[in-house]
Amino acid sequence: MDANTVTKNPKKNKIDMTQGPIMKNIFLFAIPIVLGNILQQLYTTVDTLVIGNYCGHTSLAAVGTSAQPVEVLLCIFLGIGTGVSILISQYIGSQRPDKVKDCCATANSFVYLCGIPVGILGWFLTPAILHFMDVPEDSIAAAQTYTRLVFCGTLGNIGYNMNAGILRGLGDSKASLWFLVVSCIANIVLDITFVAHIGMDVSGAALATCIAMYLSWFVSILYIKKKFPELEFSLLPKKLLKDELRRIIGIGLPIGLNNSLYSFGHMALQTLVNAQGSVFMAGASVAGRITGVAGIAVQALSAAATTFSGQNYGAQRYDRLKDGHIRIPLANGLVTFGFAMMLIGFRAPILRIFNKDEMVLMYANRYVVVMLFSQWIYAIFNVMICLVNGTGRVRYTTIVNILMLWAVRIPVAYCINRFFDGTWVMLCFPISFSFGLLCMIGYYIFSKQWREILGLNTVVQKKGILDFLKRPMVM
């Protein structure tokens, strides 16, 4: 099989990050992801909008607090999906179509190996998790119903995100957008049907999200089978290659554990939010719909940065890595800052769409302003992390993320809640973002490994990129 059939077929909407203008490729790759992230935000936004208008503030608070426990169990496997994306992008860069095929087959089997047990485990752990989060009594029943039903969609969630990672590694960022268009329309229709017309409350919103996620997974499978027949992709698992699985886990597991610890930390932070009562919980939930939209550029350009780094590292284009390692983070920061300022200006009428309670809106306004003013800091350091991750060196970035959360954000949040006004707990975010940015600037300046990569790494020259791909370094 000719490598070009996997790397440069224009009919398959693939972007070769090793050639052409860097920022043009980055933005072309990121735009479909931005649109897809907007659609993903609509998942939770529609839930919030429908429940906020057709149910009470306790149901709204339940939906807001239920997202974190689901993420804790899912994030490990989503991180492994990122590892798949990194490996595939490196294989594409080094023109190894046989390894791309093996990686895709192993990833598909891994979805079933993990998706079903995680869904079952989540169902039974839900009461204990919500008790740990100190969810108020007036919201606990609704939160438990919503969380358990969303866990039923675990297989579809992991499957879709794994396939999206495969496509990003291949250089195709457009396909996921169309998968989400289909599932988002289904989610909106089902939300309105189940909640507004049938009156199923939070169970209807959760069921709509669950069905929509399975739909997006099935559509992604059909797309890969049709557009990339050389991969011989299938609905059911075919093979699980031990060596390939080891490489995937070697890169993806540290990212996944970091993501999971990160989500677990956010769940711990949610307990501090919950301690302020259901009105503040509702305000934070509504605010999250706006702050989530502001983060879509961060996620999209970060995904583009990972693919850019992986493909150029695999192709030994260290000159392009050197050109992009400053320009891409700064572009992400500027785009995010401009978008955040626009949302701050229009926050009042947008927030009022979700809820009419004046106290809920007051807390939501405060939350939005604090978070959006600091979002650009997160945008810069997160892309820096993704550029490093794309080379397979994920240990330092994992440590930075863990320290940022557990050594900075949570202690600061606890101090605010303990010694000051707990309704300002969101100030812990800009403080921790600043810490993360300083750590990554330090890595850029002082890391010998990173300087070697940017200056034509002598280790890679001596041993060859294929040896590195056989033994991805977790550094």
* Domain regions of the chain by residue span: 22-470
The four Cα atoms 201, 202, 204, 206 give a dihedral, to 10 degrees, of 170
Positive or negative torsion for Cα 327, 329, 332, 337: negative
Cα–Cα distance for residue pair 135/365, rounded to 1 Å: 23
Q: Per 3-state DSSP, what percentage of the chain is helix, strand, and coil (rounded to 5)?
A: 85, 0, 15
Structure tokens given for 86: 């990194």
CA angle 403, 385, 297 (to 5 degrees): 110
CA angle 208, 151, 405 (to 5 degrees): 115
**Are 398 and 374 a contacting pair, CB within 8 Å?**
no
Cα–Cα distance for residue pair 126/411, rounded to 1 Å: 26
Return all residues near 78 (Cβ < 8 A) that are at least 6 apart: 158, 161, 256, 259
CA angle 95, 101, 106 (to 5 degrees): 130
**Are 139 and 270 a contacting pair, CB within 8 Å?**
no
Tens-binned pLDDT, residue by residue, of the chain (475 aa): 333 333 334 344 577 888 888 888 898 888 887 887 777 666 666 767 777 777 766 777 777 666 666 776 677 777 788 888 888 888 888 788 888 888 888 888 888 888 888 888 888 888 888 887 777 777 788 888 888 888 888 888 888 888 888 888 888 877 777 887 888 888 888 888 888 788 788 888 888 888 988 998 999 899 988 888 888 888 787 778 888 888 888 888 887 777 777 666 766 777 777 777 778 878 887 887 788 777 777 888 888 898 898 888 888 888 888 888 888 999 889 988 988 888 888 888 888 887 777 888 888 888 888 888 888 999 999 999 989 988 888 888 888 988 988 899 889 988 988 888 878 888 888 999 999 999 999 998 888 878 777 764 444 444 444 443 444 433 3
pTM for the model stands at 0.68
